[in-house]
Structure formats: C-alpha cells, structure tokens
Amino acid sequence: GSQRVWVSNNRGDNWKAISGDLTLDQERFSLPIMGKVQSWDNPWDVYAMSTYNTITSLSQSPIDENIIYAGTDDGIIQYTQDYGQTWTKVSVEKLPGVPRGSFVNDIKADLFDANTVYVLLDNHKFGDYKPYVYKSTDGGKSWKDISDGIPDGFLCWRLVQDHVDKNLMFLGTEYGIYVSVNGGTKWVKFSSGLPTISIRDLAIQKRENDLVAATFGRGFYVLDDYSSLRFISSNSLKNNLVFTPRKALQYSPIRSGSSSQGSNTYYAKNPDYGAIFTFYLTDEISTKKQKRKKSEKELEKSNSDIPFPGWNELDKELNQSSPRTVIEIYDSSNVFVDRFSVPYKKGFNRVSWDLSTSLNLNVNSGSSRSYSPSVRVNPGKYSFNVYTSFNGQVNKIGSKFFDVERIRSGVLDNPNSDSFETYITEIENAYKTYSLVNSKFNKIKDNNKSIISLISRSINYSNNINFHDEIKKSINEIDVFLSGNKSKKDVMEKDIETISNRLGVATRGINSSYGPTGMQISSLGKAKSLINKFQEMVDALSLEFTKLKNQVESELDSYILD
C-alpha cells in the first residue's frame, strides 16, 4: 500500500495497482497546525514527518480473496469485494463516536467470516487518547464499538484473531495486551509476566500457538502456547481446569553460563525445556497464619485491638505446612515415571517437566535431598495428573495425555542399545550397594571417634587405645581407597581411579543420544569390582570395631548411642 493498493504475483518482482488514490489526496502544508495554517518559514521539522495521505493498514479476507480492506492515515476506510475493480469509501467519522480524520492503526479481516472486519483508530495527534475499537459484520457498511474493558487513555495499536477459536482475540495497546474470549464483547488485561509497555505489533505463530508481541523500544516477547485460553469462559472458570499440553520436544539443551563478555552482553531467557503443563485452580487456600494476618489487617484498618492468638495457636501455625500442587507422570502402560510438587497458587499455573525420571537409589537418613542421577524418558505417549495437597488431604484436580517426541534420531547406531535397560538397572544396583556400604563405613568412623570418651574411662586403657589406633589405621586405608592420597589431592596430583570416578564415567552414558559406550560399560564393571572390594574391607573393619565396642561397653556398662 502507498496511496494506492498494489499487487504482485511474482514475489515482488513486478507490481500492479488495483486501485486509484484511496486517500483524501491533500496538500499537507495547507492544513492547519495549532489552529491555523502556518507560514512555510515556520521552523517545523519536515524531515521528521511521515508521509501523509497514505494507506497505513491493509487486510485481505482469507475466506474470499476478492475482499480487501484498506485504512489510511487521514481517516478513510476503503473496501473492495471484486479484487479492486470497485472500491467503497467510508469516512471514519461515520463510525459511532469517532472524530473526523482519525488515523487507522490497524484493519483486520475476520479469519472465519468473509463479512466481518475489525478496525483500530487513533486520534492522539489531536490530544484525544480514547481507545477506538470497532467491528463490522456486514462487510464494512455499519460498525459497532467493541472497546468495553479498555480504559480511557489506552491507545490501541494492533489486533489479532486466533486461528482456531474465532472468539479469542488479542489487542496490543499503549499499556500492554488485552484479551477477549467472546469476539471483542469484553476485554480484560492479559499480563502473564509481561511488563506494562507499549505493544505496537502482534503476531501469532500458528504451528506452535505462540503469541509474539513487539514493543516500542523494549524488544519483543513470546507467550508460548496460549491454546489453553480457547477453553476459557465465565462458566468454565468456576471449576478447576487442566489443559492438554502441546507435544513435548526432546533434545539436549545447551548448558547455560559463559565467561564474562562485558556490560553490553545480553541473553534472553529461553523457554522452559520439556513438557509444559497448564492448569487453573479456582480456590484460595490459606494457612492458619495467612488467615490470622488477613483478619488482623481488617482490625488494623478499623483501629481495633488485635487479640493475642494464644501459644497453642501459634504452635499450630508453625507446624502447618504450606499447600502444594503435586504433578505425577505415567507412561502409556500407566507405570509411574516421576513426581514433583510446586507451591499452590490460585488461578493459572504453568510448570515444566524435564522429560526425565530419577534412578531408584537409596536416600540419606536425616536429609530430604539425596543425589540421584536422572535418565531421560523414551519418546511416546504419557499422562500427567494434578493434585492439591494440604493438611494431609490430597485431592485430584484432573489429568491429560501428551506426547514426547525426539526432534532428531541419533546419527550413529549403538551396538549396545538393546541392553540399555539392563545397563540402567546395573547402575542403580551399583549406586545402592555403594551407598549402603559407605553409610556403614561412615557410621563406624563416627562411632570410632565417640568411643574415645569411653576408652578414657576404661580400666584396660592401654589395650583399648591400641586396639582403637589399629582400627583408625584401617579406616585411613579405606579412606585412601575411596578418595585417593590426601597429600596428592592437596597439590592436585593425579591419583588412583576411585569408585566415584568409575561410577561418574558410567553414569554419563545414560543421557546421551547414543547410549552407553564400550568404555562406559567397562567403567561400570570396574566400579562394581571396586565396590565389592570396598564391601569386603568394611565388613572386616566392622567385625574389629564391634569387638572393641562390645569390650569397652561391657567393661563400663556405658554405651554409644546411635
């Protein structure tokens, strides 16, 4: 579009006009500025002005290619229903409440109905900052104001319509994005983490259902997979909702982090990796402390006394856990795969699962966290369940199926791929055995330190302390076997391969696209041999320490408490 509408059928090599001048075709310097026509010599910045009397927005109906709409910067809407042979002119002041000469920011043909069209107008250059959003259902002959919900002062720049749900629309305004789920009848602010900034353009990536927003001077933002909004209505939001995720793409993410690149380096946040789960929770769940705080706030407003809750009630507050949302994943055979939880939050929630499952390993006593390598799941169909957990009550919210797909196959065939599941089981068993023996060893080390206090009071002190020193020597030998020579470690000198080294090498084979290599399988075998030797050494140590412990405890009738 210029002042005419042009068409090219060969990718822009040649252009043909299919309209005459669709603007008012005015001499801009003869128009009044600040109430009167100014002298040519007045110091306005001609070079900073955009060209006037031009088409500012074009839209062709995807239903009927003969229907084309054009909007201009001088207050004209033109449309054709015969691919430009004839054009019908509509002055914007004929739209209810629109001032003459208002700028057409955007005009959009409906994606589903050839007779429906939308237009956004702007009159801020004349000090008018009202939002002008209109809809026509008769091809532009008559128009209806559909700006309900857009505050005064919010200029409207761009409108896009969902390609699946005709009633779902997004509106880019001077102060953020608004969304409508009823064809523009009502608009509501849609932030989803977006700052309050001027949104000058919007586009929808149809394959991924992503909304892309370009801002005025602050880059662009991408809302990943907005498809859940297609199922939103005033009635549906009365219930908890779980939405079907889009296909989860499996790949090897690049590890974050880099060396310093100076103050000008900027990295945008990547989308979360894995399966993205979206759900809506209707209820506000408050803890005892939150309820008390809310009640006290109301009393504070009325300047009333705030009663002391009592010690028992305060203890109940301290012992009460916060509400959580629990996510469970199952495979196509309904076999449990993974579980994790997030803090409970009323409203829309979006969480990600990294497409992996933890190895089935032992956990350390007294710790809620223990090291557990994870292995990525196989491609296929999965399901997830959403639960809420609070005060010992676990309630199911809903469940959905989803697919996991690898974006590419491995370049090389692994001759060991058929034994992968067996390899995982062997790694799990190796870690379990190692952790059990190591726990037994650490307990002996701790008790050998504690027994000194008993030995110092024993009658046979000389014999007992010599026995203790011999055990300590055995402990030191096992420490070297496990971790290497301490003096070498201090100066980072190379040393023996330890169980941890061997297991670490073997574990690297569980998450590569190729699978375990021959070297990694060999490393697992060597780790298992070292673990067996470690177990023999600890069993022998345990027998010796038990002798000393029984001897000292029976002598004093005092005991080491575990």
Distances (CA, A) of 20 to 1, 8, 24, 81, 91: 11, 16, 11, 15, 17
Where along the chain do its domains lie? 6-227, 279-406, 417-556
Residue 191's Cβ-count burial label (10 Å; 0-12, 13-18, 19+) is exposed
Single out the residue of 426, 46, 399 nearest to residue 244, CA to CA: 399
pLDDT of residue 229: 94
Give the position of tokens 């027998």: 543
pLDDT at position 164 is 97
At 40 the pLDDT is 80
The tokens for 529 are: 């041999």
Which residue shows structure tokens 């200029």? 155
- What pLDDT score was predicted for residue 259? 63
Q: Which amino acid is at 440?
A: K
Q: What is the pLDDT of residue 263?
A: 73
Which tokens sit at 405?
């797909």
- Work out whether strand 248-250 and strand 393-406 pair parallel, antiparallel, or are unpaired: parallel
Assess contact for 199 and 215: CB atoms under 8 A: yes
At 335 the three-state DSSP class reads coil
Tokens (6 digits) for 541: 């140590």
pLDDT in tens, 316-353: 999 999 999 999 999 999 999 999 999 999 999 999 99
Beta pairing, strands 188-190 & 176-180: antiparallel
Which residue positions in the chain have pLDDT lower than 70? 43-47, 255-261, 366-371
- How far apart CA 471 and CA 151 sit, in angstroms, is 80
Task: Give DSSP secondary structure letters for 191-222.
Answer: -TT--S--EEEEEEETTTTEEEEEESSS-EEE
**Euclidean distance between CA atoms 424 and 507, whole angstroms:** 9
Residues 6+ apart with CB under 8 A from 156: 105, 106, 120, 121, 122, 131, 132, 133, 147, 150, 171, 172, 173, 174
Superfamily of domain 6-227: YVTN repeat-like/Quinoprotein amine dehydrogenase (2.130.10.10)
pLDDT at site 127: 92
Query: How is residue 182 written in tokens?
Result: 């009823």
- Both tokens assigned to 55: 């088409």
How many Cα atoms are found within 13 Å in the side-chain-facing hemisphere of 411? 0
* Predicted TM-score (pTM) above 0.75: yes
Question: What SS3 state is found at 112?
Answer: coil
What is the C-alpha to C-alpha distance for residues 117 and 131, in angstroms, rounded to an integer? Answer: 17
CA distances from 508 to 242, 361, 373, 406 (A): 36, 17, 10, 19
**Helix (H) or strand (E) run with residue 445 in it:** helix 420-455
CATH architecture for segment(s) 279-406: Sandwich (2.60)
- Residue pair 99/93 in contact by the 8 Å Cβ criterion: yes
Torsion angles phi and psi, residue 23, rounded to 5: -100, -175
Predicted confidence at residue 218, as pLDDT, reads 84
Query: 68 - beta bridge partners?
Result: 60, 80
- Strand, coil or helix: 92: helix
